């Protein structure tokens, strides 16, 4: 009621008998300039007003270090495959050189199986860790936990260096220990959900999809230039081992920058409020907290997935349906991309006899297409589809709209479906490609599907209040980690079974998976949101409000007749 009172006072101060019913042209221009400079308003910016620029969170803080991180991630992807290719049985093998004896189906199958075991180690552990870190980040901030997620990668690269530097002393199976360390800190999955949470904290809903696109563009920039730079670097130094030292240094630099330089996106006020809310939720649980039933419920590894099926005030069946459909789509898009990528590189090397530089160039080309789509085409679509219509509505109404989560809009749903259609078409192109040129064109078609991941993740954060973003993305991260377990089982297993018989079998599976995601996307409905009531409205400001409560059976007073405090 205090809010309504302030609104009435503001109207009284502005409106008088001489006020024009419609603004003049000069007033309209002044209002437009003022509105454009101060809108869209978003309450999340209030906690950081008056702070110096280097303490104000922004998605641009992440772009630089994230490119370094993705350069390391992409640069080591192809060399790691060539590092695993030399089987222990074959001694006359030169790392980073042409080794035709490794291009036989038996060695290819062994590589796929070993990659499967490594992904199982990392995927299972990160599935357990990612939801907990995501939920913790709502209460203790994003940056420190984002830096923690890089520690496992540093240890994993250190073990990789030992294996590559001393192959006669350190067996290649020690790479499994590196996967263990990587999974214990959440791996790439946790780093991804922390980045998404940070972006969601400091970006208004109308620009969130574009900001997510910038982050994904950084990812694909690293994947584009990382393998290419790694290929030239290995050729220049003549040593496959040298690139792993560079990658380890990139991981360390990313961790230190995020930990010491990047400003926290969650203010202390929001962190304390989230902790208090968490404690209240624990108190509201059933009093059997010490019983064995509660212990089993707490130990349930799939308990974080309950965040995808919220119940209680403000929720609805449409909200639950949207969250589940979006989680399935995002998991399929990310899981298929990460699981099939390495196998596609193996397929190219065997089918088209590409060397390290050519395989790196193919990965770089697809990533560059994604970067152009995300940083060039996507902002244009967002401008003409959201920003420009919103500016026109502000000019017509003369009121600066306050941004808030209102769920995914029609443009979000349309872009997601178009991205999935391009993935299906590109995957079918892989199946029927009989030349390297057609194969590359099909890959470029799947690269357009990069819009789906950025759009889907932005849509997910638009469905829930800000204090629940980390918990929800933690549940999504668990599904991503499970996809890292099941995805390699499917793609590496199918490749190991079909190599030498029907090499295109993995692409049939890829097209089927994306086709299923496309069907699921038609269950998503726009403008569905968790109508979470603000905390200050849940509890009365003073006990006198109870005296004015309307008794049962009595008609309530109109809003204008209510007593204001």
Q: Which pLDDT score, from 0 to 100, does residue 430 have?
A: 93
Residue 93 clears pLDDT 50, i.e. is over it: no
Q: Which of 14-23, 78-87, 158-167 has the lowest mean pLDDT?
A: 14-23
Q: Binning pLDDT at 50, 70 and 90, where does residue 395 land?
A: confident
Q: Which pLDDT score, from 0 to 100, does residue 541 have?
A: 38
Provide mean pLDDT across the span 178-207. 87
Q: At a CB cut-off of 8 Å and minimum separation 6, what does 421 contact?
A: 518
Q: Which pLDDT score, from 0 to 100, does residue 502 have?
A: 86
Pairwise pLDDT comparison (154 vs 229), residue with the higher score: 154
| 53, two tokens | 């620029």
Tell me the backbone φ, ψ of residue 70, rounded to 5 degrees.
-75, -30
Pairwise pLDDT comparison (11 vs 140), residue with the higher score: 140
Q: Binning pLDDT at 50, 70 and 90, where does residue 487 land?
A: confident
Provide mean pLDDT across the span 535-562. 42
Pairwise pLDDT comparison (13 vs 333), residue with the higher score: 333
Q: Which pLDDT score, from 0 to 100, does residue 7 have?
A: 42
Pairwise pLDDT comparison (150 vs 34), residue with the higher score: 150
d(CA 135, CA 197): 11
Per residue in 398-417, pLDDT tens?
766 667 777 888 999 999 99
Tell me the backbone φ, ψ of residue 104, rounded to 5 degrees.
-90, 155
Q: Which pLDDT score, from 0 to 100, does residue 450 have?
A: 85
d(CA 209, CA 230): 31
Share of the chain above pLDDT 90, in %: 22
Verify cis geometry, omega within 30 degrees of 0, for the bond prior to 230: no
Per residue in 256-265, pLDDT tens?
999 999 999 9
Burial 14-52 (b: 16+ CB within 10 A, else e): eeeeeeeeeeeeeeeeebeeebeeebbebebeeebeeee
Residue 537 clears pLDDT 70, i.e. is over it: no
Q: Which pLDDT score, from 0 to 100, does residue 235 have?
A: 79
Q: Which pLDDT score, from 0 to 100, does residue 291 have?
A: 57
Inter-residue long-range contacts of 307-314, CB under 8 Å, 24+ positions, other chains counted = 307/468, 307/471, 307/472, 307/474, 307/475, 308/472, 308/475, 308/476, 310/464, 310/530, 313/531, 313/533, 314/530, 314/531, 314/532, 314/533
Q: Which pLDDT score, from 0 to 100, does residue 217 have?
A: 86
d(CA 106, CA 102): 8
Share of the chain above pLDDT 70, in %: 76
Domains of the chain, with CATH numbers? Answer: 56-88+101-264+304-394+404-530 (1.20.1250.20)
Per residue in 302-325, pLDDT tens?
888 888 999 888 889 999 999 999
Provide mean pLDDT across the span 145-168. 88
Q: At what angle do helices 143-165 and 242-260 cross, to 10 degrees?
A: 170
Provide mean pLDDT across the span 23-49. 53
The CA distances from residue 363 to 224, 407, 432, 543, in Å, are 6, 34, 20, 65
Per residue in 337-368, pLDDT tens?
877 887 888 888 888 888 877 887 887 788 88
Q: Which pLDDT score, from 0 to 100, does residue 94 have?
A: 43
pTM of the full predicted structure?
A: 0.75
Tell me the backbone φ, ψ of residue 41, rounded to 5 degrees.
-75, 145
Pairwise pLDDT comparison (48 vs 43), residue with the higher score: 48
Average pLDDT of every residue of the chain: 78
Q: Which of 60-69, 106-115, 176-185 has the lowest mean pLDDT?
A: 106-115
| 544, two tokens | 């006198």
Q: Which pLDDT score, from 0 to 100, does residue 523 have?
A: 95
Q: Binning pLDDT at 50, 70 and 90, where does residue 20 land?
A: very low
Q: Which pLDDT score, from 0 to 100, does residue 522 have?
A: 96
Question: Smallest Cα–Cα separation from 62: which of 217, 270, 171, 225?
Answer: 217
Using a 10 angstrom Cβ sphere, with 0-12 exposed, 13-18 middle and 19 or more buried, the burial of residue 128 is: middle
* Contact assessment for residue 96 and residue 230, using Cβ atoms and an 8 Å cutoff: no
């Amino acid at each position: 009621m205090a809010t309504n009172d302030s609104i009435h006072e503001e109207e009284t101060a502005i409106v008088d008998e001489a006020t024009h019913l419609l603004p003049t042209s000069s007033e309209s221009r002044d209002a437009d300039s003022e509105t454009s400079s101060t809108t869209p308003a978003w309450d999340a910016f209030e906690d950081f007003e008056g702070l110096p620029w280097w303490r104000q969170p922004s998605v641009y803080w992440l772009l630089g270090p994230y490119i370094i991180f993705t350069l390391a991630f992409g640069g080591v992807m192809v060399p790691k495959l060539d590092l695993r290719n030399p089987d222990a049985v074959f001694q006359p093998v030169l790392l980073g050189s042409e080794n035709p004896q490794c291009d036989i189906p038996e060695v290819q199958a062994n590589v796929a199986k070993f990659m499967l075991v490594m992904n199982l180690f990392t995927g299972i552990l990160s599935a357990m860790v990612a939801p907990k870190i995501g939920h913790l980040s709502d209460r203790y901030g994003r940056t420190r936990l984002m830096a923690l997620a890089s520690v496992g990668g540093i240890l994993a690269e250190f073990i990789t260096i030992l294996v590559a530097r001393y192959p006669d002393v350190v067996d290649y199976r020690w790479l499994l220990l590196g996967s263990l360390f990587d999974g214990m800190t959440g791996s790439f999955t946790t780093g991804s959900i922390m980045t998404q949470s940070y972006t969601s904290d400091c970006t208004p809903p109308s620009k969130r999809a574009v900001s997510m696109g910038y982050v994904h563009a950084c990812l694909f920039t690293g994947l584009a230039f990382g393998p290419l730079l790694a290929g030239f670097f290995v050729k220049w130094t003549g040593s496959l081992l040298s690139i792993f030292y560079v990658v380890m240094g990139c991981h360390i630099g990313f961790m230190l920058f995020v930990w010491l330089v990047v400003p926290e996106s969650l203010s202390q006020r929001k962190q304390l409020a989230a902790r208090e809310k968490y404690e209240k939720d624990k108190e509201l649980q059933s009093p059997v907290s010490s019983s064995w039933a509660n212990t089993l419920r707490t130990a349930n590894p799939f308990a974080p997935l309950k965040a995808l099926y919220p119940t209680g005030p403000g929720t609805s069946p449409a909200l639950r349906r949207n969250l589940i459909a979006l989680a399935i789509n995002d998991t399929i898009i990310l899981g298929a991309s990460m699981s099939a990528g390495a196998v596609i590189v193996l397929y190219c090397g065997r089918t088209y006899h590409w060397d390290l530089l050519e395989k790196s160039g193919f990965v770089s080309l697809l990533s560059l297409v994604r970067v152009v789509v995300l940083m060039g085409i996507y902002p244009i679509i967002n401008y003409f589809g959201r920003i420009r219509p919103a500016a026109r509505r502000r000019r017509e109404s003369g009121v600066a709209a306050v941004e808030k989560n209102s769920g995914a809009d029609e443009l979000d749903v349309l872009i997601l479906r178009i991205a999935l259609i391009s993935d299906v078409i590109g995957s079918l192109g892989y199946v029927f490609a009989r030349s390297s040129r057609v194969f590359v064109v099909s890959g470029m078609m799947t690269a357009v599907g990069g819009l789906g991941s950025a759009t889907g993740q932005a849509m997910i954060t638009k469905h829930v209040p800000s204090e629940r973003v980390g918990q929800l993305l933690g549940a999504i991260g668990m599904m991503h980690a499970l996809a890292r377990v099941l995805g390699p089982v499917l793609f590496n297993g199918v490749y190991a079974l079909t190599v030498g018989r029907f090499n295109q079998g993995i692409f049939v599976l890829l097209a089927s998976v994306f086709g299923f995601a496309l069907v699921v996307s038609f269950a998503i409905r726009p403008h569905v949101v968790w109508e979470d009531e603000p905390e200050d409205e849940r509890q009365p400001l003073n006990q006198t409000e109870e005296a004015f409560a309307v008794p049962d059976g009595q008609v309530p007073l109109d809003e204008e007749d209510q007593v204001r405090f």
